[in-house]
Structure 1
């Protein structure tokens, strides 16, 4: 904000010929005390005026309560009370009651360090009081006008086409500061400003921003970085925090500066809210594009995506399906940013309760890093062409179903390497196998294991009798009896190939052996 007049000082009053002031004691002529601003000037001849005084002023007196014979102890106590109240100086009039300032007062002032001024030539106290008041009023008026001018400039900047960048640039100019805007997940928003954030401040400010955003409500924090006082304030309303603004100044913000930042926060909130509305519309359009792609209308979807600035990745591509429900807005916001930053390499859309991404066959790294930060598992299809998207979506779902905490990323090729059983397990065939083998699973463990072992060895020998009997160490009739009992238990005719295949598959899904597919 532009420079404004400051309140007058003792040095300024001493230099003004009209007031006939002389420094007698309590401060050296070069003392910085003389440059402290005066916040008021008033007169009083009370022995103890301090109950009615505030710090920072000049007290004027005719000395009616003092004389050359005054008790030094009482005078010292009088001066001490003024010092303790924060009074800047005492002005003593001569030529009215006293021809000169009593020595006892000069000594007490020198001892206590209270500047003592002689007010000579019958200078009216009112002229001094009025001068100080006028300077204070002018300063307050100038600050108010400066603040209003700054507010108007910020409002005008908001009307420009690049409103968000314009108001931040205007804030920089008015406060002679640097500013940085962050989105709701703590990423820096690329808004063109005049002054860059100092490199040494980046980590500290980013940590402060993320801490403020994590609280999820409106908040303000202040950190010191080098010579800068950095104020971090969230943007938005409780439960709908849209980001944060960091303002770095050489000194803490005064009231006018804080008001100006508050105005910028309000305007930035509106801008980011409008941006969020646009993002929501874009997400809905991308969901529509995904439906077109799944329906095979690829040319139309591709041209529409280009108009939206959401170019589709070049084939071959992989389809990715998130392996868990998305809770909260943070991950969706980051995926939205990723889709915008990596347009042409990442396409993200929501489909019912699913979040589906399509990436270039070799471009899944950025997506994986985002999901890893949120501990979100993901399944990828094998590389496909765009017209194979429905198959890719099915493969991605099957891969997502096989994710685990220790294996958060699964590609369909891994399931293919496991053979048909990998695909069956990914499609939920385990539950079908449990229903088929339910009577067997209900048996006592030793009996169940005996039947599982018998059936596995018998089926491995293609339903022959002698080789499995020898391997199991039982008589061939005993083997026949066990197989017959198993047929009755499961309701299967194991003399047929389909029934044997069904049993063999169910056994290997639920009781895989080292030599079986798993």
Structure 2
């Protein structure tokens, strides 16, 4: 334990007592003021010694700055307030040297400021108190060095265990007496056995802080304040973070604790880097298995998947396709965790610039929730068997294309089927082509003041029937025929032929 004022009071070699005590504590001082750690003991008789002091020290004085004749209370108040503002732990006053007793106004000033005031009597040498605190500080420093060495050895032994990363974090909890949380690069909490559970009302704020730190993409360390303070440190280096580590300590760590944390961060980053390399190998294996499935070689794919991931999802399956480049490693890591959690329920692989995910009937909803959480734009196929996997990928890609065009988050191929063949053909490019097809008649209307485009739309809407269209437009049937012939000439189409009528029909549909 670091030395404190109480250690001085309890030393029988010193004749020291607290003068301003009420109910067992210095009057006006917070609880535990006598147990606050001392960084040093300094002696001075200056009227303002703060220039030579530092926070956390105990000041000793024989009162030469306080003349025998009475001074105003404000003089003593200002003196003590300067010490308190600097963070001095207490004031020791030597009696029977210059003053037979402590000036009452100094006692009053210390009570108002909550400053512990000690009487050092019987000419106790200040140097004895200073040496005592110096020895205690040296003993504390040596103890921390020994603790640091033992803790570093314990962390190193933990790193050699089969579950090295989890053992390292468990040992860190033990050594620092704090709770520890680990997050992967996607901001997901990595579970491992803990000695000190995190307070339930703090979980969300820690997770949010970790997610925000990871989104910045740069190494960072911070002390977060809130209901309870905690330390947050990102893991990894270069341009890619591997995760984040959060520690719940009641106060900031001393250099020994910070050194231990630094060692753990280095080991944890290395472990996560190794996991990353293993993940990359697994992803290449996944991509190879997907190609085997697409080629119809399910036997080898089943056997390989069963050894590594348990099994492939059971039929019927649904295929989902996401653009890989828009989400990167965060989505891949989330899919890896989802695959581990639902072994045999979800399979994914990278293919070209897409991520292809296959889910069984029970886990399709879980996959959609994951995509929604990562704000991924996704297209999904209809349910099918593995023999139809190639068709499933094509359906999902078409659904993804429609999602991108319309700005939707999730489009299923069944939605395209509901729109029929036009649903499959409808794209921004198709609309542009359709406008180009009708441009000659639209230009004629603009130049000559005719109404060929509305006439064509009405004719198509009435299934190219002459009489109903003429009645709807309020013109003679021969007039309608003349307009349609002129439009056909301008378009370069023979509208008596079915093929050319379908061309016109498609152009009208896509421009509506």
TM band (smaller chain): 0.7 to 0.9
Distance 1:31 1:372 in 2: 58
TM-score w.r.t. structure 1 length? 0.80
Structure 2 residue 114 is matched with structure 1 residue 117: no
Q: CA RMSD in A?
A: 3.8
Q: Which residues in structure 2 correspond to 1:244-283 (within 5 Å)? A: 244-283=244-283
Aligned to 1:103: 100
Distance in 1 (CA, whole Å) between partners of 2:314 and 2:118 is: 81
Q: Which residue of 2 aligns with 1:356?
A: 356
Report 1:134-213 matches (<5 A): 134-213=135-214
Give the Å deviation of 1:315: 1.7
TM-aligned CA distance change 1:21 to 1:497, over 3 Å: closer
Q: Distance in 2 between matches of 1:442 and 1:311?
A: 62
Give CA-to-partner distance per residue, 1:290-335, whole Å, 9 cap, x none. 2222222222222222333173221222222237961554334333
Aligned to 2:114: none
2:30 equivalent in structure 1: none
Judging changes above 3 Å, is the alpha-carbon distance between structure 1 residues 429 and 15 closer, same or farther for their aligned structure 2 residues?
closer
- Equivalents in 1 of 2:295, 2:501: separation in Å? 40
- Structure 1 portions without partners, runs of 5+: 512-518
User: Is the CA contact 2:324–2:350 (under 8 Å) kept in the aligned structure 1?
Assistant: no
Whether contact under 8 Å (1:286, 1:349) holds in the other structure is yes
What's 2:460 paired with?
Answer: 456
Aligned to 1:401: 401
Q: Is the 8 A contact 1:396 1:411 kept in 2?
A: yes
Work out the CA distance in 2 between the residues paired with 1:398 and 1:327: 19
Query: Residues 127 and 380 of structure 1: is their aligned pair in 2 closer, same or farther, counting only changes over 3 Å?
Result: closer
Deviation at residue 367 of structure 1 after TM alignment: 2.3
Asked if 1:88 is matched to 2:90, the reply is yes
Matched residue, 1:424: 425
Residues 459 and 504 in structure 1, CA contact (< 8 A), matched pair in contact too: no
Larger radius of gyration: 1
User: Would the alpha carbon gap of residues 8 and 331 (structure 1) be closer, same or farther in structure 2, given more than 3 Å must change?
Assistant: closer
Q: What CA deviation, in whole Å up to 9, does each residue of 1:261-303 have, x standing for no partner?
A: 3332332222222222222332232222222222222222222
The question of whether the paired residues in 1 share the 8 Å contact of 2:234 and 2:244 is answered with: yes
> How far 1:165 moved relative to its partner?
0.8
Measured after TM superposition, the shift of residue 429 of structure 1 is 5.2
- For residues 139-175 of structure 1, the C-alpha deviation after alignment (integer angstroms, 9 at most, x for no partner) is 1111122123222322322222211111111111112
Matched residue of 1:171: which SS? helix
Which residue does 1:514 correspond to in 2?
A: none
Q: Is the contact made by 1:47 and 1:78 (CA closer than 8 Å) also made in structure 2? A: no
Q: Residue by residue, what CA displacement relative to the aligned partner does 1:180-220 show, whole Å, maximum 9, x if unpaired?
A: 11223322111222232222222232233333334443141
Q: How does 1:419-498 map to 2 (within 5 A)?
A: 419-425=420-426, 430=431, 433-434=434-435, 436-444=437-445, 447-453=451-457, 455-456=459-460, 459-461=463-465, 473-498=474-499
The size of the alignment, in residue pairs, is 490
- What is the match of residue 29 of structure 2? none
By how many angstroms is 1:374 displaced? 3.8
Residue 290 of structure 1 contacts residue 349 of structure 1 at CA under 8 Å; is this kept in 2?
yes
**Corresponding residue number in structure 2 for 1:289:** 289
Q: Which residue of 2 aligns with 1:299?
A: 299
| TM-score, structure 2 as length reference | 0.81
Name the SS for the 1:160 alignment partner. Answer: coil
**Aligned with 1:267: secondary structure?**
helix
* CA separation of 1:126 and 1:74: change in aligned 2, threshold 3 A: farther
Check 1:405–1:178 CA distance in 2 against 1; reply closer, same or farther (3 A cut): farther
Q: Structure 1 residues 353, 255: closer, same or farther in 2, change over 3 A? A: same
Which of 15, 20, 23 is matched with 1:21 structurally? 15
CA distance in 2: counterparts of 1:302 and 1:72, whole angstroms = 96
Structure 1 match to 2:368: 368
2:223 is the counterpart of 1:221? yes
